[in-house]
Chain A
Amino acid sequence: MTSALKYEWTRLTTLRSTWWISGGSILVGVGFTFFVAMVIQLNTPTELVDDVNADYSRFILDGAMTQFSNIDPSFYLLAYVVAILGVLTWGHEYRHGMIRATLTAVPNRTAVWSAKMVVVGAWVGVVVVVSCVLSLLVTLVWFSGLSFEFDLGYLLLAVLKRVAFTVLLTWLAMATTVLIRHQTFSLVMLYLWPLGVETMIRLLMLAMSGVTGNKDLYDTTRFLPFNAGGRIMQNWQGDFQENLSTFGEPLNALGGLVVFGGFTLAVMGVSLAAFLKRDA
Chain B
Amino acid sequence: MAVIEARGLNKTYKGKTAVANLSFDVHPGTVTGFLGPNGSGKSTTMRLMLALDNGGGTCTFDGRPFASYTQPMREVGALLEAKPFHPTRTARNHLRMLAAANGIPDGRVDEVLGIVGLADVAQKHPSTFSLGMGQRLGLAAALLGNPHTLILDEPANGLDPQGIRWMRDLLKALAAEGRSIFVSSHLLSEMALMADELVVIGRGRMIANGPVAEFTNRSRGNHVTVRTPQGHDLAALIGHRLAGQGSVQAVEPGVLQVVGLDAQAIGDLAFDNQIRIHELATQQASLEDAFLEMTGGAEEYQAQTPVAPWRQGPPPGGPQQGPPPGWMPPGGAPPPAPPYAGPPQGPPATGGWPDSRGGQP
CB–CB B101/A6 < 8 A:
yes
Is A14 touching B93 in the complex (CB atoms < 8 A)?
A: yes
A97 to B137, CA, bound (A): 14
* Those of A82-112 within 8 Å (CB) of chain B: 92, 96-98, 100-101, 103-108
Place the interface of chain A in its size category.
Answer: 20 to 34
User: Does B38 belong to the interface (CB within 8 Å)?
Assistant: no
CB-CB contacts below 8 Å: B39-90 with A: 47, 50-54, 66-73, 76, 78, 80-81, 83-90
Select which of B73, B86, B90, B93 is within 8 A of A105 by beta carbon. B73
A100 touching B52 in the complex, CB below 8 Å, given contacts A105-B101, A107-B72: yes
In the complex formed, the residue of B with least CB distance to A106 is B101
Cβ-based interface call for A65 (8 A): no
A11 within 8 A of B: yes
Among listed A33-41, A253-261, A262-270, A272-280, interface-contacting one: A272-280
- Decide if the interface of chain A is mainly helix, strand, loop or mixed: helix
A92 to B81, CA, bound (A): 15
A15 touches B89 (CB 8 A): yes
Given A101-B141, A104-B73, A279-B47; A7-B54 close (CB under 8 Å): no
- The answer to whether A104 and B86 have CB atoms under 8 Å apart is no
Interface contact B54-A104, CB-CB below 8 Å: no
A279 and B101 form a contact (CB under 8 A): no
A245 at interface by CB-CB < 8 Å: no
The 8 Å CB contact of A7, one of B51, B78, B83, B101, is B101
Q: With the chains together, A6 CA to B70 CA distance in Å?
A: 13
Across-interface contacts of B73 in A (CB, < 8 A): 104-105
Nearest CB of chain A from residue B139's CB, rounded to whole Å:
13
Residues of chain B contacted by A4 (CB below 8 angstroms)? 101
Query: CB of B243 within 8 A of chain A?
Result: no
Let me know if B96 is at the binding interface, CB within 8 A: yes
Q: Is the CB of B85 within 8 A of A105?
A: no
Do the beta carbons of A98 and B100 come within 8 Å of each other?
no
Interface status of A144 (Cβ within 8 A of chain B): no
Interface residue total, chain B, C-beta cutoff 8 A = 36
A7-B101, A11-B97 known; A105 and B72 CB under 8 Å? Answer: yes
* Least Cβ–Cβ distance between A280 and chain B, in angstroms: 4
Query: Does A9 reach chain B (CB closer than 8 Å)?
Result: yes
Q: How far is the CA of A96 from the CA of B137 in the complex (A)?
A: 15
| Chain B CB within 8 A of A17 CB | yes
Cα–Cα distance between A96 and B94 once the two chains are bound (Å): 13
| Cross-chain contact A100 with B81 (CB below 8 angstroms) | yes
Contact B96 A104 (CB under 8 A): no
A126 to chain B minimum Cβ distance, whole angstroms, is 20
| B52 and A7 within 8 A (CB) | no
Contact with B along A1-22 (1 / 0, CB 8 A): 0011011011100111100000
Of A6, A100, A104, A108, chain B has the most CB atoms within 10 Å of the CB of A104
- Which residues of B are at the interface with A, using a C-beta cutoff of 8 A? 47, 50-54, 66-73, 76, 78, 80-81, 83-90, 93-94, 96-98, 100-103, 141
4 smallest A-B Cβ distances: which pairs? A7-B101, A14-B93, A280-B52, A107-B67
